[in-house]
Amino acid sequence: MAQVTYKVGVVGLGAVGARMVKNMQTHDCFEPVAGFDTSVTACAALTEIAPKMRSSNDFEALLLRDDIDVLYVCTPPKSHAEFVRHGISKGWNIFCEKPLGVDVADSERLVEEMNGSGLGQAVNFVYSGAPAALRAKKLINEGAIGEILGAELDLRLSNWPRAFQSGAEWLSTRAEGGFVREMMSHYAYLTLVLMGKPNLNNQVLAHFEPNGGAENLMLAIWDTAMGKVTVSGVVGGNRNDTVSFRILGSKGCLFFDNWYGLFLESKAGTERVLDLKQQSPAAAYQGQLDQLALQLNDKKQRLATFSDALCVQKLIEKMVA
C-alpha cells in the first residue's frame, strides 16, 4: 500500500495547537495546510513555524477549502462541539482535543452525531499512543505485576495554569479550565484502558480559587472493577511540578513518572522499562500520530473514541461540579 499523506486543518493555534503543527510537520503521514484562530497574533506566530500553512482569523476561509482530510480541533472545550459539527458537515475525519466538552448533554448528542457520520474519529488523550501506556498494557497482560489491586494518582503543581499555558486565560476558570479537566482527564482515560471504567466515589474534597477560579486542591477516589484509584492534586509552592501514576499489583507496581517515564517496581528494586528516547515527550507525540495514521489507513480504531472521551468527561465534570 502506497503511503498516504493526510492534509490537516487546525482550529486553535495556541500552545497545544502550535505544538501539534510542529509534530505533524515532522511526520511523514500528515501535512498541516490550513489553520484558524480568533487571534491575529496566533496566526502570525504560526506562519513562522509553518510558512506553507495558510492561517487566518476567518473560519469561513478554512471551511471553503476542499483539500482537507482531517480537522484537528484544539480550542477551549466549550467550543469543541461547534467546530466538530462543522467538520462532520464537510465530511472530514475528526481529531479533537480533550476534554470533549463541559456540557455533558451536548457531548452525548455530539457522540451520536460523530458515530452516525461514519467518519474517522479520535480524541487526543496522550496515553492512546504513548510508548509508556502501550508497554504498560503489555506488561499487565503478561502478568508482570500480578493481580491489579488499585492505583494512585498524584499531581503537585507550582502554578496553574502552567507557564507554557499562561496565554490561555480560560484555563484558570472553573467554567472550562483547571488541572482536573486538563491533566487528570488523561489519567482517567489511562485508568479506563488499563483497569476498566472509573466511577466517582462520593468521597470528594475540592477547593477552588475565588471569583470563578479553577480548583487548587482535589482529593477523590475512583472505583473500578480492579480496585480503587486514590486521586490527589494540589497547586502551590515554589517547586518543580511532579505528576505520578502508580498501578498497584500483587507482584509489583507500574510507575508512570512525569507523564512518559515507566518503571517496574518491587521489593527487589526499581527497573526502568523504557529507554530515554522512548520516554521522551517527542516519542509520545509521534506515537499518537503513528496510531492516528494507522487507523485512518485501515479504518481500525486505535486512539480514544468520542464515546471514551464522554465516559471521561462524565467523571471529570462530577469532580469539578
Predicted local distance difference test score (pLDDT) of residue 189: 99
Closest by alpha carbon to 95, among 288, 300, 239, 231?
Answer: 288
pLDDT of 10 higher than 70: yes
CA–CA separation, 20 and 320 (whole Å): 28
Instruction: Give the residue ranges of DSSP H helices in 147-184.
Output: 179
Cis peptide before 99 (omega within 30 of 0): yes
Tens-digit pLDDT profile for residues 126-165: 999 999 999 999 999 999 999 999 999 999 999 999 998 9
Predicted local distance difference test score (pLDDT) of residue 3: 79
Per the prediction, the chain carries an average pLDDT of 97
**CATH architecture for residues 127-320:** 2-Layer Sandwich (3.30)
CA–CA separation, 312 and 305 (whole Å): 11
At the fourth CATH level, the homologous superfamily of domain 6-125 is NAD(P)-binding Rossmann-like Domain (3.40.50.720)
- The three cell numbers of residue 242 are 511532579
Domain positions in the chain: 6-125, 127-320
CA angle, residues 186, 123, 184, in degrees to nearest 5: 15
- The three cell numbers of residue 248 are 498497584
